[in-house]
């Protein structure tokens, strides 16, 4: 899957800052935001191919995304 133009720009900015300003505290935020956007895109594409989930299945998946463990 090709990256949209905005994500390519974000990735390039992170690469440049990683080289020239590796200690910049904003760099960690940019990396987090970039990875979250990629994860969101991936999860949406994945969910779009699934059959409808039950309420219990949705709850278990939401718990995993919140950092908990599914029962």
User: pLDDT digit string (tens) for 7-32?
Assistant: 888 888 888 888 888 888 888 888 98
pLDDT category at 1 given cuts 50, 70, 90 is: low
pLDDT at 5: 85
CA 37, 26, 62, 60 torsion-angle sign: positive
Q: How far is CA 70 from the centre of its chain?
A: 20
Tell me the C-alpha to C-alpha distance, in Å, between residue 47 and each of 23, 52, 64.
37, 9, 15
- Model pLDDT for residues 40-57, shown as the tens digit of each residue: 888 888 889 989 889 999
Joined together, the tokens standing for residue 2 give: 């090709």
pTM of the model: 0.68
User: Is the pLDDT assigned to residue 70 strictly greater than 80?
Assistant: no
């Amino acid at each position: 899957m090709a990256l949209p133009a905005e994500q390519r720009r974000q990735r390039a900015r992170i690469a440049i800052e990683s080289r020239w300003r590796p200690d910049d505290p904003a760099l960690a935020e940019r990396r987090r935001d970039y990875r979250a956007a990629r994860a969101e895109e991936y999860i949406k594409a994945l969910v779009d191919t699934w059959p409808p989930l039950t309420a219990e299945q949705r709850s278990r998946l939401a718990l995993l995304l919140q950092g908990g463990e599914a029962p």
